[in-house]
Homo-oligomer: A and B are copies of this chain.
Amino acid sequence: MPKDTKAPLAELLRVPEGERVDLASFDARATPAGPADKAAGLEATARMGERLADLQERLYAASTGGDRRRVLLVLQGMDTSGKGGTVKHVIGLFNPSGCRIKAFKTPTPEEQNHPFLWRIMKALPQPGEIGIFDRSHYEDVLIARVRELVPRSQLGRRYGQINRFEKSLAHDGVTVIKCFLHISAEEQRERLLERLDRPDKHWKFNPGDIDERALWPAYQEAYEIALERCSTEASPWYVIPSDRKWYRNWAISKLLLEHLEAIDPQYPMADFDVAECRKRLVEGV
Residues of A within 8 A of B (CB): 61, 64-65, 84, 87-88, 91-92, 94-97, 99, 101, 103, 134, 185, 189, 192-193, 196, 199-200, 202-207, 210, 213-214, 216, 267-270, 272, 274, 277-278, 280-282, 284-285
**A87 touches which of B96, B192, B202, B278 (Cβ 8 Å):** B96
Q: Is the interface of A mostly helix, strand, loop or mixed?
A: helix
A123 to B203, CA, bound (A): 26
A277 touches B92 (CB 8 A): no
Q: Give the oligomeric copy count.
A: 2
Complex CA gap A140/B284 in Å reads: 27
Chain B residue contacts of A96, Cβ below 8 A: 87-88, 91-92, 94, 96, 99, 101
In the complex, A99→B64 CA distance in Å? 24
Beta-carbon contact of B196 and A278 below 8 Å: yes
Q: Which of B87, B103, B204, B281 contacts A193 (CB 8 A)?
A: B281
Chain B residues near A94 (CB, 8 Å)?
Answer: 96
- Closest approach, in angstroms, between the C-beta of A191 and any C-beta of chain B? 10
Residue of B nearest to A217 (CB): B285
Alpha-carbon distance A189/B284, docked complex (angstroms): 10
Q: In the complex, which residues of chain B have a beta carbon less than 8 angstroms from the beta carbon of A199? A: 267, 270
Q: Are B280 and A210 in contact (CB under 8 A)?
A: yes
A216's nearest neighbour on chain B, judged by CB, is B285
User: Once the chains are docked, how many angstroms separate the CA of A92 from the CA of B210?
Assistant: 34
Residues of chain B with a CB closer than 8 A to A207's CB: 272, 277
Please give the distance in Å from A256's CB to the nearest CB on chain B.
Answer: 14
